[in-house]
Structure 1
Amino acid sequence: MSAITHHIPDDMMAAYAAGTLPHPFAMVVAAHVSLCADCRAALGSHHALGGALLEQTTDVAISSGLKSNLLALLDGPVNPEPVYDAQGIYPGPVMEALKGGAPRWKTLGMGVKQSILSETGGGSARLLYIPAGQAVPDHSHNGLELTLVLQGSFSDETGRFCVGDVEIGDEDLEHTPIADAGEACICLAATDSPLRFNAIMPRLLQPLFRI
């Protein structure tokens, strides 16, 4: 794997550690952390800081029935969620979204494909397959977009992004990502609002592709 040079910002890592990051973005952060030793260390620091802050908080009274309710839950049936390990280029958090299966690719045209993993009121997460040399239509953003490279690489106006790198796009970024030469680029992308495409055809197809 190439050296990871584009990481998760500290404020976003803090939100992920606190459990306040929306699910689509949390999926990207979790997948990146599984690939990046530096960000795993940063996450550990945030967890340690959170633990220290909890130890310093003032005690809060609890209801008299909390203990019995908790014991009743522990005595109830246990249905553990399955744990999915990384498979091939897909980290564990992506395999969890895929329920251990393979992506269900749907074509977007020009060889580009997508597989939607999560779609809620808080945003969406999807896998994107972009053939080498193919460009994603020029676009800007109505909100935040996180893009994690899982295979290959792509380049745009801000630089080059290889396996493990995360690009963070906001309302100020307008770009035309192009998959580099070599193998196809596969990315995990999360957004909290629709993209703003400049060309008429992508705008017309946007409701159909849900992007």
Structure 2
Amino acid sequence: MIKYHPSKQLMQKHVAGELPVGLSVAIAAHIELCGACKLELDALESKQAEAAFTNSGSYSEEAAESSTEEDLAFEAMMNDITQLDMSSEMVPRVPQMFDYQDKSVQLPRAIAALKLGSFINAGKVSRARFELDEGPLRSSLLHIKPGGEIPEHTHTGFELTLLLDGSFEDESGSYVPGDFIMLDGRHNHTPKTEEGCLCFTLVDSALHFNKGLSKLLNPIGNLIY
């Protein structure tokens, strides 16, 4: 059962279109996997639509008194568009699959629509970045093989992990597909998996490794996040 979800504030900003692409993609993918958040999204969208139509109604009454030639031309164009014949043919959606660990996993639509770069392997951890131009934000597909782990670390910014397949655990608990986990500099954790897992991740700064030999990675942290 999914235990970790986007906050209400994030959901509201997602509906309003106020989030970076990577974060909005993660929320959309979570919603596809989580029935409870799908219901919450529908309620938020309905509320926003009601508010928008209420505001546009009062605006239209004022605008009607001062219509310009451009307004009339736009209205005529929209009328022409709505008179066009519309196709009723339904085109089936072909699920996008991702192959890993000798199996195929169906990716959420929002993630499947992104262009993925090449994988970089480091032991039992593989990571490929999605080709999004979002400044310091890095959206990736992360695969950890069975028995793998990422050394204990914290974050100089934030880290979002959306588990897509398999399972993993850390000091805070265990996670199942659909779990939406957001961490920042207040958290230390050591993700590890017995069966292997596939995740969508989003970070805005380098990881900071805390213990042993893994500290040697910190000087190049900006290159590997």
- State the TM-score bracket (shorter-chain normalisation): 0.7 to 0.9
Query: Normalising to structure 1: TM-score of the pair?
Result: 0.80
Q: Structure 1 115/69 Cα, relative in aligned 2: closer, same or farther at 3 Å?
A: farther
4+ aligned runs moved over 3 Å, structure 1: 60-64, 66-72, 83-86
Q: How many residues align?
A: 194
Higher relative contact order (CA 8 A, sep 6+): 1
User: What's 2:8 paired with?
Assistant: 10
**Which runs of 5 or more residues in structure 1 are unaligned?**
76-82
User: What's 1:150 paired with?
Assistant: 164
Report the Cα distance in structure 2 between the residues aligned to 1:170 and 1:63, rounded to whole angstroms: 51
More helix by share: 2
2:208 alignment partner AA: R
Q: CA deviation at 1:120?
A: 1.9
Report the Cα distance in structure 1 between the residues aligned to 2:151 and 2:171, rounded to whole angstroms: 13
2:114 alignment partner AA: A
User: What's 2:59 paired with?
Assistant: 59
Q: CA deviation at 1:208?
A: 3.3
Q: Structure 1 50/137 Cα, relative in aligned 2: closer, same or farther at 3 Å?
A: same
User: What's 1:208 paired with?
Assistant: 223
2:172 alignment partner AA: T
Q: Report 1:118-157 matches (<5 A).
A: 118-121=132-135, 123-157=137-171
Q: Structure 1 206/84 Cα, relative in aligned 2: closer, same or farther at 3 Å?
A: farther
Larger Rg: 2
Q: CA deviation at 1:85?
A: 3.9
- Is contact 1:25–1:191 with CA below 8 Å preserved after alignment? no
Q: Report 1:46-195 matches (<5 A).
A: 46-57=44-55, 58-59=58-59, 61=63, 64=68, 65=70, 68=73, 71=77, 85-87=95-97, 88-98=105-115, 104-107=118-121, 109-117=122-130, 118-121=132-135, 123-179=137-193, 181-182=194-195, 184-195=196-207
What is the CA deviation profile of residues 107-147 of structure 1, one whole-angstrom value per residue up to 9, with x for unaligned ones?
Answer: 1x122110101342151210111112211122212222210
Give identity over the alignment, percent.
27
**Which runs of 5 or more residues in structure 2 are unaligned?**
82-92, 98-104
User: What's 2:209 paired with?
Assistant: 197
Query: Normalising to structure 2: TM-score of the pair?
Result: 0.76
2:140 alignment partner AA: R
